[in-house]
Structure 1
Amino acid sequence: MEVNGCDEHQNYEILAEIGEGAYGKVYKAREVRDQQRLVAVKKLNIPGHTESGIPAFMIREVALLRKIGYFNHPNIVKLLDVSAGLKNRSLDLTLVFEYIDQDLSTFLTTAPSTGLSLDKIKDVMVQLLQGLDFLHTNMLVHRDLKPENVLVSSRGEVKIADFGLARIYTYHIALTPCVVTLWYRAPEVLLHSGYMSSVDMWSAGCIFAELFLLRPLFRGYTEAQQLQKIFEVIGLPSEEDWPRESPISYSRSWCPRDPCTQLLSNLGQEENNLLLQCLEFSPTNRISASRALSHPFLVCA
């Protein structure tokens, strides 16, 4: 597809490429008719034998976006249109979303060197948690929460995006160890254990810390290194808290240090307490989005 001009449906004028993934690209575009509003057009191309159809994860993303779109939640990105067609023996799937100016990762690069204000951090976290609370109330777990999948508009609206790995969950979801980008991956996922919606709250905790640090809190490059970095900060959990179904054995060699009581030195007592509850090793003890919204640090946001 040409980067300039109208697409084959003649509904959207493509303005610029703004992202690229394994299966396609995302473009900034403008509606040709109606409101002529800006939109994000996600073009997915599935090469090869079309008899196999659209991959399951793509169908799941569209189905979940349709389901949650009915509620029109302000902190979830809106899916406006879907179309599919054949082109040169390949299957083209086009998703059209509301256009948001930037993601949280880009937003953080523009933050002043002195950091974000406490009020701004509270505002971002309240909106993020409201979106998560909505998803979890509707039995959905995002599974890939990271700054690149959190959008921030020029008006300060925060919206959760990219539901390609999202799932409707039961009590424990069947193991899929590749979920969640490594730096935001919960210990139970790294330990190849069962997990629940609390994996999103771990990711939210990592994002919360990043709002203060302006850099990721845990930057490992293998699963083992990521666990090591986590334990260096939160301390090594007790053997009783180690998931029994994990194929990775408990060992004190993971980290000899005692648990920390102050995760980040520049945090006040209330924000440190909320961060501790988000980064609780045990998923069942980790704070929920609903309870986090009632935390003293956020209630006055």
Structure 2
Amino acid sequence: MQRQISSIEQEMNYLTRLRHRNLVKYYSMKYYFEEDVLKVFILKEFVYGSNCSSLFLSPNVKVDLDQLKYIAKGTLIALDYLHRNNVVHKDIRDSCIYLSDAGHIKISNYSIHRRLYDLFSRTHSNYSKKTDIFKFGGLLLSLLQGNVISDSNMEVPTWIQPDLYDFLTRKSSSMEL
């Protein structure tokens, strides 16, 4: 366990150096053992605003196309920055995409959160840049349909705008997880 914690500390040290307007900034991580239980605290930037999960508070409320494009663009810019810096988000979902009060899209919970979850749940999955893009497609589909959809139920509806349909089907058909 100590070796894994050291590896996570090194990763966190790297992540604290990343700076981008579409990323929630990591500041530090502290951990300690209490009665053989590892407790981890991560200090990160506070975002005034709400995350995309708030868009699902009213059942079947769909995001309009302009808002979807805005969310998609901000998310893709942040993912591009992460991927160019060899960081895989590992868990793109509605709760980690923020719409700040200033109008910025910010991504949080990248990399380290999923790694800690896997450590504590004693699971391990292979994550890649392709996984991020696949999950990004699922997020877009969820926003389009007005409800959260699972990875196994990601059918692209035929009623959406043709260029968006082509984008989503091209991306999802070429993905191998």
* Cα displacement string for residues 64-109 of structure 1 (whole angstroms, at most 9, x for unaligned residues): 3432432311122111233345656755433211112432212332
Instruction: Return the structure number with greater relative CO, CA threshold 8 A, min gap 6.
Output: 2
2:52 aligned residue:
104
For the pair 1:165 / 2:114, whether they are aligned, the reply is: yes
In 2, Cα distance between the equivalents of 1:89 and 1:199?
34
2:13 aligned residue:
66
The one-letter amino acid of 1:126's match is K
Task: After TM superposition, list the pairs within 5 Å mapping 1:184-223 onto structure 2.
Answer: 196-218=128-150
In 2, Cα distance between the equivalents of 1:82 and 1:196?
24
> Which structure shows the bigger proportion of residues in helix conformation?
2
Q: The residue matched to 2:18 in structure 1 has which SS?
A: coil
In structure 2, relative to structure 1, the CA distance for the partners of 1:152 and 1:141 (3 Å cut) is: same
Paired residues of 1:76 and 1:131 also in contact (CA < 8 A): yes
User: Residue 279 of structure 1: which of 168, 172, 177 is its match?
Assistant: 172
Paired residues of 2:59 and 2:147 also in contact (CA < 8 A): no
Please report the RMSD computed on the Cα atoms of aligned residues, expressed in angstroms.
3.2
In structure 2, relative to structure 1, the CA distance for the partners of 1:73 and 1:57 (3 Å cut) is: farther
1:154 aligned residue:
101
In 2, Cα distance between the equivalents of 1:110 and 1:69?
36
Paired residues of 1:85 and 1:91 also in contact (CA < 8 A): yes
Paired residues of 2:88 and 2:129 also in contact (CA < 8 A): yes
1:127 aligned residue:
74
Paired residues of 1:142 and 1:200 also in contact (CA < 8 A): yes
Alignment coverage as a number of residue pairs: 168
In 1, Cα distance between the equivalents of 2:160 and 2:94?
20
Percentage of matched positions with identical amino acids: 17
Q: The residue matched to 2:113 in structure 1 has which SS?
A: coil
Paired residues of 1:107 and 1:152 also in contact (CA < 8 A): no
Q: Which runs of 5 or more residues in structure 1 are unaligned?
A: 1-51, 167-175, 180-193, 220-225, 234-262, 285-301
Paired residues of 2:60 and 2:145 also in contact (CA < 8 A): no
In 2, Cα distance between the equivalents of 1:94 and 1:145?
21
For the pair 1:266 / 2:156, whether they are aligned, the reply is: no
2:25 aligned residue:
78
User: Residue 143 of structure 1: which of 82, 90, 101 is its match?
Assistant: 90
Paired residues of 1:75 and 1:127 also in contact (CA < 8 A): yes
1:291 aligned residue:
none
In structure 2, relative to structure 1, the CA distance for the partners of 1:90 and 1:201 (3 Å cut) is: closer
In structure 2, relative to structure 1, the CA distance for the partners of 1:126 and 1:64 (3 Å cut) is: farther
TM score, norm. by length of structure 1: 0.47
* Cα displacement string for residues 242-299 of structure 1 (whole angstroms, at most 9, x for unaligned residues): xxxxxxxxxxxxxxxxxxxxx3133111111111122124449xxxxxxxxxxxxxxx
In 2, Cα distance between the equivalents of 1:278 and 1:73?
25
> Which structure shows the bigger proportion of residues in strand conformation?
1
Q: The residue matched to 1:279 in structure 2 has which SS?
A: helix
In structure 2, relative to structure 1, the CA distance for the partners of 1:63 and 1:108 (3 Å cut) is: farther
In 2, Cα distance between the equivalents of 1:108 and 1:198?
26
In 1, Cα distance between the equivalents of 2:139 and 2:38?
36
Task: After TM superposition, list the pairs within 5 Å mapping 1:23-34 onto structure 2.
Answer: none
In structure 2, relative to structure 1, the CA distance for the partners of 1:217 and 1:87 (3 Å cut) is: closer
In structure 2, relative to structure 1, the CA distance for the partners of 1:148 and 1:72 (3 Å cut) is: same
Q: Which runs of 5 or more residues in structure 2 are unaligned?
A: 116-121
Paired residues of 1:81 and 1:96 also in contact (CA < 8 A): yes
